[in-house]
């Protein structure tokens, strides 16, 4: 695992946008497309704002969600809001290039299976994404893979539905998809993440984040998180 440390959250966001843009250009040159999965959060929001200004081969990009809260359309808790706000529009993504997790339907397990099918339609079987962007929680969770969840042991599905966590059930990519990606990019900021970042870098499998493969991973952290 590589780790790059920056002065502050803003610099982390800028580096993340530049890394994604470079990965997109490389992937499109090599394979004619770029498939990425993005997370929500404050630092990713800043990164998306900068990514929207980057020169990318946008017509060849497909964006998926790493995870999403089960809540109504437009709810402030939805990660989708940020993706739509920053990535859709002229010169960027068309709506059909942004694949929202179907968290509004009654049968969530069936919906998770449908999203797995969407992934495999674009990324093959097994699904191989070019880049997955992750965050790190102060409890060691990543995506919606949270401590104690049965979903942590799912190895036969690409997308799963969790129990309630911080007020919401969630839909999330599972380890097989995350660990199958060509690149994993972590954005980690704030002093509250310092201990979990240390454990992540040590590969501590007692936290959910520690189960993510490290051989193709890079951490972009600010000094507060890196200590």
> What digits encode the pLDDT tens for the residues 52-62?
999 899 999 99
| Residue range 17-42, pLDDT digits in tens | 999 999 999 999 999 999 999 998 88
Which H helix or E strand runs over 206? none
| Residue 113 falls inside a structural domain | yes
Check residue 37 and give its pLDDT. Answer: 98
| Residue 221 falls inside a structural domain | no
Distance CA 221, CA 191 (A): 10
Lookup: tokens for 96? 């059909």
| Residue 104 falls inside a structural domain | yes
| Residue 218 falls inside a structural domain | no
| Residue 137 falls inside a structural domain | yes
Instruction: Give the burial string for 172-185 (b: 16+ CB within 10 Å, else e).
Output: bbbbebbbbbbbbb
User: Residue length, the chain?
Assistant: 227
Which CATH number goes with the domain that contains 23? 3.40.50.1360
| Residue 145 falls inside a structural domain | yes
Check residue 41 and give its pLDDT. Answer: 84
Dihedral of alpha carbons 205, 166, 86, 43, sign: negative
| Residue 226 falls inside a structural domain | no
Check residue 74 and give its pLDDT. Answer: 87
| Residue 223 falls inside a structural domain | no
DSSP H helices, 124-210, are: 175-179, 194-201
- Total domains in the fold of the chain: 1
- Which residues make beta-bridge pairs with 42? none
Which H helix or E strand runs over 220? strand 217-222
Q: What is the pLDDT along the chain (227 residues), one digit of tens a residue?
A: 999 999 999 999 999 999 999 999 999 999 999 999 999 888 899 999 999 999 899 999 999 999 999 999 989 999 999 999 999 999 999 999 999 999 999 999 999 999 999 999 999 999 999 999 999 999 999 999 999 999 999 999 999 999 999 889 999 999 999 999 999 999 999 999 999 999 999 999 999 999 999 999 999 999 999 98
Check residue 104 and give its pLDDT. Answer: 94
Quickly list DSSP for 97-146: GEE---TTSS-HHHHHHHHHHHHHHHHTTTT--SEEEEE--TTS-BTTB-
Name the CA dihedral angle for 79, 53, 223, 201, rounded to a multiple of 10 degrees: 60
Which range marks the domain in which residue 196 is found? 2-211
């Amino acid at each position: 695992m590589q780790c790059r440390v920056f002065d502050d959250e803003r610099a982390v966001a800028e580096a993340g946008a530049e890394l994604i843009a470079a990965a997109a250009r490389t992937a499109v040159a090599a394979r004619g497309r770029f498939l990425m999965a993005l997370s929500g959060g404050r630092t990713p929001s800043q990164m998306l704002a900068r990514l929207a200004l980057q020169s990318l081969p946008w017509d060849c990009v497909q964006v998926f969600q790493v995870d999403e809260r089960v809540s109504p359309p437009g709810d402030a808790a939805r990660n989708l809001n940020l993706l739509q706000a920053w990535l859709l529009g002229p010169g960027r993504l068309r709506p059909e290039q942004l694949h929202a997790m179907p968290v509004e339907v009654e049968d969530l397990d069936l919906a998770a299976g449908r999203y797995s099918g969407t992934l495999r339609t674009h990324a093959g079987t097994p699904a191989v994404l070019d880049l997955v962007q992750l965050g790190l929680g102060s409890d060691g969770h990543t995506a919606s893979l949270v401590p104690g969840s049965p979903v942590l042991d799912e190895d036969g599905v690409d997308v799963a539905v969790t129990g309630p966590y911080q007020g919401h059930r969630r839909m999330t990519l599972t380890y097989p998809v995350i660990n199958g990606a060509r690149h994993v990019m972590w954005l980690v900021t704030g002093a509250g993440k310092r201990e979990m970042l240390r454990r992540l870098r040590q590969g501590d499998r007692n936290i959910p984040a520690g189960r993510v493969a490290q051989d193709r991973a890079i951490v972009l952290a600010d000094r507060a998180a890196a200590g």
